[in-house]
Each structure stands twice: as C-alpha cells, then as structure tokens.
Structure 1
Amino acid sequence: MSTSPVSPKSPTSNEKPDTAVKNPHDVHRQKSNMDARTRAIANANAKLSNPLSGIPYDRLMADVEIFAEERGLTHLLPELEKGALVAQDSTCYDRLDIFSVEDKRILKEEVTHRWRQTPMLYYMVVMSSLAAAVQGMDEAVINGAQILYPTQFGIGNSNNRDSWLVGLINSAPYLCCATISCWMTQPLNHYLGRKKTIFVTCMISFLTCIWSALTNSWWHLFIARFFLGFGIGPKSTTVPVYTAECSPAPIRGALVMMWQMWTAFGIALGDLIDLVFYFIPDAPGVTGLNWRLMLGSAGIPGLVVCLQILFAPESPRWLISKGRYEDAFNELCRLRFSRVQAARDLYYIHVLLEAENDMEGRNRMVEMFAIPRNRHAALASWVVMFGQQFCGVNVIAYYSSNIFLACGFTQIPALTSSFAFGALNWLFALPAIFTIDTFGRRNLLLFTFPCMAICLLITGFSFWSTSDTGRAAGVSIGIYLFAIFYSPGEGPVPFTYSAEAFPLYIRDVGMSFATATTWFWNFVLSITWPWLILAFGPQGAFGWYATWCCILWVLILLLVRETKDKTLEELDQVFSVPLSTHAAYGLRQIPYGFKKFVLFQNPVPEQLYRVKSEAEVLDTGDDEKARREEGEDVDVEKANA
C-alpha cells in the first residue's frame, strides 16, 4: 500500500511561501551553520519559495504589463494586476481600493471557508479518488485470487519452486514499476499532460485486468500482471501531482493526502469483491470463473475514470509550461470562483516557472547526493520509503487470505477476515489528515513502529497455539491491530515526508528516487513472502518483519529529521545538521522519552534546531557576520552559474 508524492513543483500547504524571506536576519542566522554550497541552495530555495517577495509595486505592475503583452493577455490586464498583488501578499486586498467588495469576499472565504470550492474542483477530486481506488484494487484483488488460481495452473504452493512462482506472479506489477514504468512518468507527462497520462494509465489498468482474467497458464498471468505495472507506476505519481496543481493552496495538502485514503478504500473494495465473487460457479467451458472475475473487476473503476477524466480540466501548470496561457486561464476559471483568483494563480505559476528555469543546466541527480543537505534528505526519505514496505504491511495486504487459511480458517471466513483488514486500513487512514500535522511525522513513526512490531509478534506467535480458536483469535487480533497502527503512521508519512524534505529545485528527481525505492522493495517483499513462510514458518516470517520494525525504529531515531511546521529555509537548516550530530541527538532522546512516558516526569526537551532571537543576533554582532555571508552567497551563486 503506497501513497504518492505531492506535486514536485507546487509548494505544499505547510511551506508558507509568503513569509519565507521577509526578514534578512532570519535567513542569515538560519544559514550560519551551512557550508557555502548549501547556502547557495538555500538562496535558490528562497527564490523558488516566493519569487515575488520584495518586488516594489511599480516594478511589479510593469512586469505584469510586459507579461500580458508578451503572452497575448492584454484583455486580462486588470485581473492580472489584482492577481499579482494577491500572489505577492495574500492579505493586500483588505488595504487596496482596486478590489471590489465581491473580490474581497471571495478572497477572504478562501481562508474562512476553505472547503467551499467550485463543483469542477470537486469533480476533479472525485476523478483523482477513483484513480486511487483503481490503484488499491489492482493491488488487492490478487489476495483472493491466489487461493484459487495456483491449483488450476499446477503451482499449488506445495514446494519451493511453487512458492517462488506464486510470489513472482503476485509481485510482477511492482517489478515493472521499479524497473521501467516509474521512470516513464516524466516523458508521459511532458508529451501528454496530466489528464491524458491518467487516461492512458487507467486504460492500461482496465485492459491488463481483463487480460489477466483470460489467462490459462502461470507464465501468461505473469506477463499480463507485469504489463499492469505500466498502469500503476506512472499513475501513482501523476494523480497526486495533478491534484496538487489544480487545488487551491489552503486545502492542497489535504486533497493530495486523499490519495492514500482512497487507495486504502480501493484495497478494502478489492477484498470485498474477492469475497463476493468467490461464490460464482464455473460456467460451461470456463474454469476458475470466480478468480477470473476477481482479477477482471479491478479494471472497471479504471474504465470509469477513462470515460470521465477527459471532461476534467487540464493542469494549468502543464499548460503554462507549454506556453498555452489563454487555455491555462480558462481552466483556472473553471476551478476557481473568480477571475481574480484565476489571474493570481496564473501569474504566480508563471513567475515560479521562470525562477525554476534559472536553475536549468545543473546536474540535479548528482547534487541530490553530493551536497550534504540534499544527501541527508535523500537518506531520510529512503529510510521511510523502505520502512513502508519492510514494516510488513503488504505481506498482509497481498497474502492475508493465505495467512488466515494457514491459521485454520476455511476459504470464506479467510476472505471475510481479509476484507475486515482492508476496511480497518481505510477507516484508520481517515484521521491521518489531522494527526500528521498535529503530532509530527517523526513522532508518529517512533510511536507506531514498536506497536507494529508487537502486533507482528502476536500474529506469528499465535501459530504456536494448540487451540484452533486461540490461534485464529491471536492471528486476527494481531493483524487488525497492525492495521490500526499502520494507517495513521507509516501509511501517509513516507510520501508526505519525501515531498517536503527535498529542496524545490530537485523535488521531481527526489520523488522519482523515492517512488522507485518503495516499488522496488514492494517487489522484493511480494516475491519472497511465500518462500519465507515455507522456509521459516509463519512464526519466523512474521518475526523477521517484527525485527525490521525494531531496526527501522532505530534508523528513524538516528536519521530521520522532523519536518512538521517548517518553512523551506528552516528545512534547509534542519537537513544541514551533520549526520553524527543528529544521530547523537536521537540517542539523547531515549532517556528523555523514558523519563517523560515511563516515569511521568517533565524533563526539558532539547532544541536541536534552535533559532536565535532577533535580540540575540543584534547583541552578538551577527549583523556583520550576516553581511559577510551574503557576500559569500553571491560568490557561490556566481560560481554555480
């Protein structure tokens, strides 16, 4: 079960673009511990955060007029002037008379009534949610089918070879995602746009699901499911990007996170379909009609998306990147209540793209690992992405029916129990919209990983029970509690964390790296689980992933930095802290946590990322140091150019 990234080009809701560089002292003191190359990245980040910051009124109006003339938008000049002012300062409409009463009402309600949006925006959200459900069903329907098709294909999971073949068939889409399809996302989006990419990938999902239902050998089913990966990989990246680029800033983060929630819903729906279609008898001349319907049904939501997505608006950002400014404005008018809102978003996207173009010519893949600030972000993202798979969640999502059969359930109760797991996974994903910004990413992971380890041990050790009832109860309790702890923690955190950890200028490269990471380890986990069960028994197999939960807890403690409520400049400082310094800080948190949560004391928390107050900066003479650093930053930027 995986989520997908926030738009690599659009600031997420907690990045606070209009406050990023208001005070020069703030930027300088936050950069005081950075090396020269990282300070240059911080300067570029600040520019990308709000490229309109600090521009005088007269110059801003002149820039807007030039923009309107160059793009053939002079008929929109009054709206563009208002929009540019609001893009620079989101509260200026209260102070300026050029805004009408209606303009002020609509702009104010963006904050006070942020969920009051146009029907077209919610139509786009419904299409995105259906695409997420396609993703979940593609992953889940194999769960029930695999208790039926192996016998028909002569791979009854009775020996080592059969175990590997079942694992290979189940993991085929994720092998395609990790090796080929995820890396096709950029060219598909570049040439087709967002909604046409979604159309193509959902059509691939529909056709390959039907293809899977028509196979008559294990190798034919493997090929069909491998091609299913071409529908999963690019879709898992494009849909959240499309949502982010169409959504207004106040609710962008919540709408993007719905990908995880509706993917979980798709998994629950897939488990329910497995249960319903199990009772379908074979038709004359057709054997295995039930599992064929299971696999084929997963394509139906994809067909629904294909029939509807072309009526949705195209991403305005993609249209602007292609020079289609008039079309982008018209699409924004469909997504927003007023032309001023549309003009604001149009002009802001334009200047942001211009700022990004200034970063062209640099090897972003090399800089992701060569610069310490970026390398620390990549390492932390790798840990949480690897952890999303090796916490063991997908051995349950993909093999829960077999697990329940192994603990003594018959096929119908096993499918029913699998559906209960999917339903819990979806229900407890709903609070993640609030918990991820309330408790913080790192804290959620540190709390839930030990709990998931205990749940896996309960599940595995229950197989030692000599009582059929006790064994079934223990396995069910362990699996259901695991879903409850996974869904608000390691479920939504990895993609959210990865999307905000990387600097804006390499976020697209960073998210490709992160997405390929999670799909690769998804493949490894899927293909090896049947062999693990055969080699070590359920006790050893679940114990293996419980051990990894403990190892991941240590890795998160030492390597993963908190990103909650941090601006872009603060994140530059957070990820510039040396790895050894942060690891030592993590170790010091162990006695702090023991005192606070075990002894119920009230110890003073350590502030690793402390920012000096303005008075401290002035008292210690940091103004002069800031001026010297600004000169160094200019030199570094010139050198990089």
Structure 2
Amino acid sequence: MGADETPTGIEPAPQPSYHDHSHAEHGVHHSSAIKPTDLSENLDAKIKNPLAGLSKHELLGQVEDFVNEKGLSEHIEYFKKGALVAQDPDSFEEISGEQKLTEEEVAVLIKEVEHKWRVPKVLYLTIITCSIGAAVQGWDQEGSNGAVLSFPQALGLDTSTNYGLYLEGLIVSAPYVGSALLGCWLSDPLNNVLGRRGTIFAAAQFCFWPVLGSACAQTWQQLLVCRLLLGVGMGAKASSVPIFAAENAPASIRGALVMTWQMWTAFGICLGTCANLILGRVGSIAWRLQLGSAFIPAIPLMVLIFFCPESPRWYMKKGRYQDAMRSLLRLRNHPIQAARDLYYIHAQIEVEREILHGSTYAQRFIELFTIPRLRRATLASFVVMIAQQMCGINIIAFYSSTVFEDAGTTAYNALIASFGFGLINFLFAWPAIWTIDTFGRRSLLLFTFPQMAWSLLAAGLCTLIPGEGNVHLGLVALFVYIFCAFYSPGEGPVPFTYSAEVFPLSHREVGMAWAVSTCLFFAAVLSISFPAILASLGVIGAFCLYAGFNVVAFFMIFLWVPETKQRTLEELDYVFAVPTRTFMRYQIFTWAPWWFRRYVLFKKDAVLPPLYHFDRVERVQSESESEKLDNKAQTEMKENAADADPVQKS
C-alpha cells in the first residue's frame, strides 16, 4: 500500500497542531499521521509498524504530547528514546542527537535479543503463579479419573443402563459444563471490574470450596452441583490466566511463557494421578479423597496472585497509564524497555480503535463474527481449541483408568497405567518451551497431528491381539504413551497460548471466553458421551474414531490457522487482517508444492516465498529543512575559521 493511500473505511488519525505548526515555521509540512494498513483486508499481507512513516521530529512531538497527557513527564527522556527504538528496532544503535542511547541502554537492548530469558524475577513469579493456576486445572480434572471407578457405586448409580452411563458422564463432565455455560463468559465482566489478578483470585475461590464440597457429597445430586460450581472457577481462570501471562511477557518469549499453562496443567494431571494412585487402596472413602485433594494448589494461587504486577495492557485499557508504567518497570529489565513497550502498545491501540469500537459485552461478542479481522481470529482460535477435543486426549485424561480396565487389567493396575500417562504428559511438554517460539505454533500442530493419528489407531488395533491381562495393557499403554508424547509439545500447549494472543486488547477477554468455552463445551460433550461410545464401539472403535478426527483436525489447521510466533500482540492485527481466501490459496498453491519438492523430492534448492512481509520503517526526513541548513552553516563556519586560523593550518 502506497504511502499516500487511505484504506477503505480507515480515516487517518488527526495529529496535534503542535507538529503542523513546528513544520510550518520552516516552510515544510509532513503528514504527521501514517496511513495504516486496513485491519479488515490486509491484501498485501504487510505487518506495519504503527510508528513507521513519521519523521523523528514528528514522533518526538507526539511523545511529548503523550507523556504530558498521561502524566508521565518524569520519564520523558526514556519515552523519546523508547519511541525511536520502537519505530526501528533493528537500528537503535544508529540513533543520534540528544536521544542517542547510552552504552548501558544499548547493552540492555542487545542482551534482550541474545539472552532473552534474562528477565526480572517478578516476571518469573508471575509465570510461577500462572503455572499454579494451571496445576489447579489439571488436578481438578484428573481427580474424577480415579474417582469414577468407585463413586457411581457409592452414590447408587446403575451404570449397567444407558441412563446410568450418561449420568456418570454428566457428573464427570460437570466442571466443563459449568465452565462452558457460565464460567468462561463471566471472565469478561469480572476482568472489567476486578482486573486480571482479581478475576484469578475470585476464580480460585471456586476451585477451593466446591472441591471440598465434592469430597463431602452424600448424593449424586450434591456432587453434581459442587462440580458445576467448580466449573465456574475453572472457566473464569482458564480464560484469564493465559491472557495475564501473555500481556506481561515480552514478545520474544511470550509463547514459551504462556505455554506454561498447558505444561503445568499437565503437571497438575500428573499430581492428580499420583493422588489417585496413593489413595486408590484406602477403602470406601478413596473417591472422596481423590476429588477433595485438588484443593491443595488453590491455596498458594490465592496468596501469590497479589504479589504479581497487574497487566499493563489492562491498566492502559482503563486509561491508567501511570499504573501501566509502574507494572512495566517491574516486568522489564530497564526503563527504556518499559517506555518502548508502553508507547508501542499505545500506538497500536490507537490504530485498533479505528475499527474495533464496540463498547458493550454484547456488541463485542457480535463483533467477533462481523469484523473481518476478529472473525479470522475467532475461526483460528475455534479450530485449535476444538482440535484439542478432536485429537482424543481427553478420553485418556477423563477415562484412562476405565479404558485400561476394559483392556483387561485390574482397577489398581489401571491406575498405575494412568499414572504413566500423567507423567509422560508433563515431561514431554518441556520441549515446547524451546520450540514454540522457534519452530512455531502452527508448525508444531502440523507435525504432531499425523503422529497422534497413527499412534491412537495402533493403540486401538492392539486390543485385537489374542491374549489377556498384562499383554493387552502393555501394548495399549505403549501406544497411548506415544500418542501422549506427541500431544504434549504440540496440541497440548498451543491452543491456550494461541487463543490468548490472537485477539486485540479491546476484545481479548470476550475472545478468550469464546475460545475456552468452545474447548470446554466440547470436552463436556465428549465426557458425557464417551461412556456410551465405549460401551457401544469398544476400545478399538473409540480409538479409531478419534484417530480419524486427528486427520480432519490436521486439514482444518492447515487451512485456517496462521502462524503467530515472535510477533507482538499488536502486530498480530496485521496477520489476521490477511483475508482467509488469500491465506488458504497460499497454503494450497505455494506452501504445499514447496513442501513436496523440499521433503519428498529432496530438492534442497526449493525456495518458499513468504506470505507476510514486515513493512520496515521508511526513512522519512527526520529533521526540518532549517535544522539541516543550520548544521550545514555551522560546518561551513568551522571550515572557514580553520582556514583563517594559522595555528590550525600548521
């Protein structure tokens, strides 16, 4: 898009008269507003820096107005330097004049690239707290895996009938029903009123008291109500924690830090399987202790959350820029990084406001499906979330004990096999810390889904081998573990990481609520229906069904899920402004032929043309004409003085 073109539906933002006046004094006038890429139809697939196209004088003038308006004058020098760095991140060492960076500032920015994991301790505290929140989620869902072996009998459910099977499935899935129907959708108003930290604290209350209530339930109705209330907390927490982590993390390591949600959910599942195994032989109260033990991680979550800084983006959304700066100063190593990030976020938010203007909850939800940029993010988040249910992981997480028992082993041996699943799920999530921001979200999914399909198919086919007991258990468990090893670094961490980053700030809560409710609603459907599916199709039929779903999910991801690695949350506006038809055409007619030539025909010289082009900063005249003339005049005066001075001549 040319510099002088105005995209349809986008009006350039008016700039303060200060800039126009400053240039008019010298007989020079530059447009002080860039013409942004249309965030509805980014046909050129350009990722535009919102500060590109401004001269140095214009940019610094805007910064002065900004810090005065927001009450940040004490940091004005850092904001001037930070804005110049944000305008052209690759050339910060070339900044000259009064804003020339000190050696310390240059060293900090270089270290940020070369040693991206050297971040403040308070950021690690934030991630640890979010990780505990994820562990609560995992332990809560795994408690029912062990308890389902005994609570139906203890509470008088007749699982020999279809009614009893569906009732058992409803109780197991109740947290997901509560999450999908209420908990996720409460996250937007709760975040609006309480902030990210307050919402997480409130959600933790629902992950504490209902869990204890489940352990004390005397009827299946009481257990159902307690687990529905647990779902309210799980949904609000699952919608808020990944956003909280994403908004506090630097772009270079955001994926790795946000994916801790899934990794520590896997750790919570592992702890839950440990608790199930330890408590499996304590007698008739085993199921009560297995369900009730999940209250443990909720306690440190409620305490630690208020030691973490609030999300700076949430503060900015509320117009509290001074609080946002205080948060960023705690979350970054140096004030210049904090000032750079705050001003860049502010600049992109101003661009977002041109098209994302919904004010009420209902309006924002409707806009998820009516504004093209939002609709593409909504589709992509829907695909990665529903794919988590299509892949079959939750039939293992919810019912692995039942599956292993049906494969021909004892109830306690089934718990041991389930413990192996939980352990592998956690251990194999670790590689994603290093691959999610390098290999990428999309690439991880495209690689792991075919592997999950064949391993799940193999697990089902192993039940056809003649034999009983340990033979069946060993072979089925082996391929279930292989399936889990591919799930954990791919479809495990990606959905929540991806969904937390693809929506703009104005729609982030409602967008994440949509994504998480999608995931948990279909988890509930799966959990309710799986006992009947297992009874009807057997282990082989159920596993083969989900192997087929893996293949379908692969093609959905291939066609509708763009890559998001190492882009700021604000730059993703331009990624999702690329029309879906353009993205699909590129994948089918450019990427797929390149992949075939490169990896099937082994042509190492095969070249893949990129889809996205980062629109680098245009070198706009950075000084006024008078300043250039003054500099030239001063140089000539010095030369004349040198010619006239006999001492200098000698």
Q: TM-score range by the shorter chain?
A: 0.7 to 0.9
Deviations 1:212-259 (A, max 9, x none): 111111111111111111111121121121112222333222211221
Structure 1 contact 561–574 (Cα < 8 Å) conserved: no
In the alignment, the residues of structure 1 paired with residue 598 and residue 81 of structure 2 have an alpha-carbon distance, to the nearest angstrom, of: 52
1:65 and 2:64 aligned = yes
Q: Which residue of 2 aligns with 1:514?
A: 515
Q: Which residue of 1 aligns with 2:155?
A: 153
In the alignment, the residues of structure 1 paired with residue 296 and residue 575 of structure 2 have an alpha-carbon distance, to the nearest angstrom, of: 42
Q: Which residue of 1 aligns with 2:351?
A: 355
Gaps of 5+ in 1: 1-20, 29-36, 282-287, 615-641
> Among the aligned pairs, what percent are the same residue?
44
Q: Which residue of 2 aligns with 1:315?
A: 311
Count of paired positions = 577
1:412-491 matches, cutoff 5 A: 412-468=412-468, 469-491=470-492
2:179 to 164, 177, 180: 177
Q: Which residue of 1 aligns with 2:339?
A: 343
Cα deviation, residue 81, structure 1: 2.7
Amino acid at match of 1:361: H
2:231 to 212, 229, 237: 229
Deviations 1:416-469 (A, max 9, x none): 211111111111111123334554544543443333222222222333333123
Q: Which residue of 1 aligns with 2:329?
A: 333
1:19-418 matches, cutoff 5 A: 39=38, 41-42=40-41, 50-90=49-89, 91-92=91-92, 95-96=95-96, 98=99, 99-155=101-157, 157-281=159-283, 288-361=284-357, 365=365, 368-370=368-370, 375=375, 378-418=378-418
Amino acid at match of 1:305: L
In the alignment, the residues of structure 1 paired with residue 500 and residue 412 of structure 2 have an alpha-carbon distance, to the nearest angstrom, of: 41
Structure 1 residues 173 and 151, CA, compared in 2 at 3 Å: closer, same or farther?
Answer: same
Q: Comparing 440-449 with 171-180, which one deviates more in the overlay?
A: 440-449
Structure 1 residues 217 and 582, CA, compared in 2 at 3 Å: closer, same or farther?
Answer: farther
Amino acid at match of 2:410: T
1:532 and 2:536 aligned = no
Deviations 1:20-40 (A, max 9, x none): x9x859999xxxxxxxx9945
In the alignment, the residues of structure 1 paired with residue 562 and residue 355 of structure 2 have an alpha-carbon distance, to the nearest angstrom, of: 26
Q: Secondary structure at the match of 1:298?
A: helix
Structure 1 residues 94 and 269, CA, compared in 2 at 3 Å: closer, same or farther?
Answer: farther
Structure 2 contact 504–573 (Cα < 8 Å) conserved: no
Cα deviation, residue 508, structure 1: 5.3
Gaps of 5+ in 2: 8-35, 617-650
Structure 1 residues 26 and 611, CA, compared in 2 at 3 Å: closer, same or farther?
Answer: farther
Structure 2 contact 37–48 (Cα < 8 Å) conserved: no
Structure 1 residues 116 and 381, CA, compared in 2 at 3 Å: closer, same or farther?
Answer: closer
In the alignment, the residues of structure 2 paired with residue 549 and residue 273 of structure 1 have an alpha-carbon distance, to the nearest angstrom, of: 31
Structure 1 contact 391–452 (Cα < 8 Å) conserved: yes
Amino acid at match of 2:329: C
Normalising by structure 2, we get a TM-score of 0.79
Structure 1 residues 350 and 234, CA, compared in 2 at 3 Å: closer, same or farther?
Answer: same
Structure 1 contact 376–579 (Cα < 8 Å) conserved: no
Q: Which residue of 2 aligns with 1:626?
A: none
Amino acid at match of 1:136: G
Amino acid at match of 1:214: C
Q: Which residue of 1 aligns with 2:13?
A: none
Cα deviation, residue 580, structure 1: 7.6
1:577 and 2:576 aligned = no
Structure 1 contact 359–505 (Cα < 8 Å) conserved: no
Deviations 1:552-595 (A, max 9, x none): 33444555555667875873575443588468649x94x88777
Cα deviation, residue 478, structure 1: 1.9
1:550 and 2:551 aligned = yes
Q: Which residue of 2 aligns with 1:620?
A: none
Normalising by structure 1, we get a TM-score of 0.80
Amino acid at match of 1:210: L
Structure 1 contact 45–568 (Cα < 8 Å) conserved: no
Amino acid at match of 1:88: Q
Cα deviation, residue 164, structure 1: 0.7
Q: Comparing 147-156 with 574-583, which one deviates more in the overlay?
A: 574-583
Q: Comparing 408-417 with 69-78, which one deviates more in the overlay?
A: 69-78
In the alignment, the residues of structure 1 paired with residue 587 and residue 339 of structure 2 have an alpha-carbon distance, to the nearest angstrom, of: 47
Q: Higher Cα Rg: structure 1 or 2?
A: 2
Q: Comparing 429-438 with 391-400, which one deviates more in the overlay?
A: 429-438
Structure 1 contact 46–568 (Cα < 8 Å) conserved: no
Q: Which residue of 2 aligns with 1:623?
A: none
Structure 1 residues 411 and 242, CA, compared in 2 at 3 Å: closer, same or farther?
Answer: same
In the alignment, the residues of structure 2 paired with residue 440 and residue 430 of structure 1 have an alpha-carbon distance, to the nearest angstrom, of: 15
Structure 2 contact 349–505 (Cα < 8 Å) conserved: no
Cα deviation, residue 354, structure 1: 3.4
Q: Comparing 119-128 with 91-100, which one deviates more in the overlay?
A: 91-100
Cα deviation, residue 266, structure 1: 1.2
Cα deviation, residue 261, structure 1: 1.3
Q: Which residue of 2 aligns with 1:16?
A: none
Structure 1 residues 470 and 439, CA, compared in 2 at 3 Å: closer, same or farther?
Answer: same
Structure 1 contact 452–486 (Cα < 8 Å) conserved: yes
Structure 1 residues 233 and 327, CA, compared in 2 at 3 Å: closer, same or farther?
Answer: same
Structure 2 contact 179–234 (Cα < 8 Å) conserved: yes
Q: Secondary structure at the match of 1:181?
A: helix
1:595-614 matches, cutoff 5 A: 604=606, 609=611
Structure 1 residues 446 and 326, CA, compared in 2 at 3 Å: closer, same or farther?
Answer: closer
Deviations 1:243-292 (A, max 9, x none): 122223332222112212111111111111111122335xxxxxx43222
Structure 1 residues 155 and 464, CA, compared in 2 at 3 Å: closer, same or farther?
Answer: farther
Deviations 1:398-425 (A, max 9, x none): 1111111222222322112111111111
1:541 and 2:537 aligned = no
Cα deviation, residue 495, structure 1: 3.8
Structure 1 residues 40 and 393, CA, compared in 2 at 3 Å: closer, same or farther?
Answer: closer
Q: Which residue of 1 aligns with 2:524?
A: 523
In the alignment, the residues of structure 2 paired with residue 592 and residue 159 of structure 1 have an alpha-carbon distance, to the nearest angstrom, of: 54
In the alignment, the residues of structure 1 paired with residue 246 and residue 610 of structure 2 have an alpha-carbon distance, to the nearest angstrom, of: 32
- What CA RMSD, in Å, does the superposition of the two structures yield over aligned residues? 3.6
Amino acid at match of 1:461: L
Structure 1 residues 25 and 580, CA, compared in 2 at 3 Å: closer, same or farther?
Answer: same
Structure 1 residues 505 and 45, CA, compared in 2 at 3 Å: closer, same or farther?
Answer: farther
Q: Comparing 334-343 with 194-203, which one deviates more in the overlay?
A: 334-343
In the alignment, the residues of structure 2 paired with residue 360 and residue 103 of structure 1 have an alpha-carbon distance, to the nearest angstrom, of: 35
Structure 2 contact 255–436 (Cα < 8 Å) conserved: no
In the alignment, the residues of structure 2 paired with residue 610 and residue 348 of structure 1 have an alpha-carbon distance, to the nearest angstrom, of: 20
In the alignment, the residues of structure 2 paired with residue 482 and residue 549 of structure 1 have an alpha-carbon distance, to the nearest angstrom, of: 11
Structure 1 contact 264–425 (Cα < 8 Å) conserved: yes
Structure 1 residues 561 and 115, CA, compared in 2 at 3 Å: closer, same or farther?
Answer: closer
Q: Comparing 507-516 with 53-62, which one deviates more in the overlay?
A: 507-516
